[in-house]
Amino acid sequence: MPGSNNEHQNINDRIGVIDMIAHDSKSDEAVLVMNEPEPWNDSNERLYQLQERFNAYVSFLLDGEFAEWDPKLAQKRARIEVRCVHMPDSRALDLLGQIHDQLAHQEIDVRVIVGRGGSPEPPAGD
């Protein structure tokens, strides 16, 4: 499921792709990066795509695929970083807040980072 980091891919082609996986040595967390270079357009389709991307990331974390891919890193606390080029619109922020609250029950942290160009830079700890 970890895949290429091609910003020019169609968002529908990226739904099942993990953009980057890293270890944040400062927080000792496994970090899954979700790059969102596309503008937020307040559409239901865009929210659906975001939700589907999260479903793929959470499935990767919880259904054993991550443990198969890297058993040692999979033992760490997990964080999903959504790196956006553009500030999410209000509907996207509401959805991200709901996702954050739901994943907190699974001990998965969600952070939204805006303005780093959706860059594939490693988390701050590496």
Q: What is the CATH number of the domain that holds 45?
A: 3.30.750
Q: CA 6, CA 76: separation in Å to the nearest integer?
A: 27
List the chain pLDDT tens, one digit each, 126 residues.
Answer: 555 444 445 666 778 899 999 999 999 999 999 999 989 999 999 999 999 999 999 999 999 999 999 999 999 999 999 999 999 999 999 999 999 999 999 999 999 999 864 444 455 554
Does 4 reside within a domain? no
Does 76 reside within a domain? yes
Residue where the block lists tokens 């479903």: 55
Does 125 reside within a domain? no
Number of domains in the chain: 1
Of 74, 84, 82, nearest to 107 by C-alpha is 74
Does 5 reside within a domain? no
Of 93, 73, 74, 90, nearest to 82 by C-alpha is 93
Does 122 reside within a domain? no
Does 123 reside within a domain? no
Phi and psi angles of residue 56, each rounded to the nearest 5 degrees, phi first: -65, -45
Does 24 reside within a domain? yes
